[in-house]
Amino acid sequence: MSCLNPAQIELTMIEPKDFIRTRVVADLDSGKCSQLVTRFPPEPNGYLHIGHAKSICLNFGVAQEADGLCNLRFDDTNPEKESQEYIDAITRDVNWLGFQWQGDIRYASSYFEQLHDFAVELIQAGKAYVDSQSSDDIRANRGSLTQAGIDSPFRHRSVEENLDLFKRMRAGEFADGEHVLRAKIDMASGNINLRDPILYRVRHVSHHQTGDTWCIYPMYDYTHPISDALEGITHSLCTLEFEAHRPLYDWLLDNLPSLPHPQQIEFSRLNLNYTVTSKRKLKALVDQGLVSGWDDPRMPTIAGLRRRGYTPESIRDFCDRIGISKAEGIVDMSLLEFCIREHLEHTAPRAMAVLRPLKVVLTNIAEGHDERLVAAAHPNVDMGQRELPFTREIYIDRSDFEEVPPKGFKRLIPGGEVRLRNAYVIRCDDVIKNADGEVVELHCHVDLATLGVNPEGRKVKGVVHWVSASHSLPAEIRLYDRLFNDAAPDRNDADFTTFINPESLTVIKDARVEPSLATASGRYQFEREGYFFADPIDSKLGQLVFNRTVTLRDSWAKSGAGA
């Protein structure tokens, strides 16, 4: 790594707002590295989730701020669990969040030949050996946190024998699990990761990038530091669970002197309540059919959040607000919801949608009355206007009428008045019921002198939303809520699936929306209902589908849900 010249030092613009950025600034300003190079190294064994977003924003964000580089590298060393689907999903998510990696996408599998050669180098130096114990024996002899491990009976094989066995492992002469290659470090180490960790194992499995070229595959802990070094990474930013693995990271690079030595720095992972962020558990939700897929809008995956209507800006804001530290903690889901509300408040146009329609006949205007009212698309941001057809028959929401109102009810009641949003004041004169006594229709009087003005001599407190019966459009509304009704669904050994919220999805098939949404795409505030997103897969002309992104206010805490 070359030293900085004075001109480069003056261009360092990164703000040291956390311990990682402070370290980066110090390394750049001291000339320890000439240019910051980070990487985002996901394993392609599942979709990315909100926890990965924190790492993405850190690795790419720090590189951007320091005028550095960030690589996207797939650590694809376990072909049994990896697929091209996951690779495509991950690259899509990183791009959607607003980041672009340096150069081509990189794969650890592209380094398989070099990784193999470095393993041979370790064997030749007497620092790696082929172990022929069974996996059960290796596990049993590894020891525990309070008891040292036991040397393998094959630990003292000669260099020549180890080289021969490793060559034959590569040639495919042995069955899965028959031999492994281990580093020769210290079976008595207090750090279990240094107790002769496995570097290679035999796996007769086709790889999604290399096909059947290899039947031995390197372990993640071996691959990661060498891949970092080969790419010239200067700062390898990892979550805290890798802190105990750092001595192995350093040992490998110290014992491969031809390689540069990146710095591994750990930070706390994102722990979010009311959710799970284990890929294994998220995959179980998908495999068991408990959700519709990795992009189910209830999932904490980036794909799920995107389909629900979250924006890249809101997720980046969320990651910025929670910050970077070494202290483990749990972030409240309400902060993520706050961030999307904050963004959509200023960017989402308004519209009216009646989720549970109740017909209202305005008896004092003629059949065929078709008036066109105009309303702003946004009350505070210039987004133009939208047209609201006003007709004799309209729909209001069933929740906006009560025949016997509870205390404090400020909407429509028999003999009472409300204002229609962006329109007139109406009075309920008659309630029509079916044979079962259910309210099916209201007959109301509209005061045509109240458009944009208050009625004389009386005060109308309530405002309700509405749509024209003849001009409104049918729509399916999907009301999404938190997937789990417990704040810590994966605590201890509990079966996390028992905490699935049975009300996490409510589908309303017969909603009505204003005609301005005929070609809807994107995000809207449905007035008085929440923020909604036209489903990018299912919604189309003549078959509108909207996903609720978030309610207008945080009603979860107030309702006591999950308590």
Alpha carbon distance 285, 282 (integer Å)? 5
**Strand, helix or coil for residue 222:** helix
Beta-strand runs (E) in 197-302: 198-202, 216-218, 235-239, 263-267
Helix, strand, coil percentages for the chain (3-state, nearest 5) = 30, 25, 45
Alpha carbon distance 328, 316 (integer Å)? 20
| In contact, 302 and 93? CB cutoff 8 Å | yes
Tell me the catalytic residues.
43, 269, 279
Residue 524: partners with Cβ closer than 8 Å, 6 or more residues away: 348, 349, 350, 351, 517, 531, 532, 533, 534, 546
**Strand, helix or coil for residue 23:** helix
Alpha carbon distance 2, 62 (integer Å)? 20
Quote the distance between the C-alpha of residue 456 and its chain's center: 53
Q: Both tokens of residue 546?
A: 């909207």
Look at residues 40, 461, 74, 45 and name the one whose alpha carbon lies nearest to residue 294: 45
Half-sphere exposure of 97 (CA within 13 A, CB side): 30
**Strand, helix or coil for residue 473:** strand
Half-sphere exposure of 506 (CA within 13 A, CB side): 10
Alpha carbon distance 159, 184 (integer Å)? 12
Alpha carbon distance 300, 188 (integer Å)? 41
| In contact, 68 and 27? CB cutoff 8 Å | no
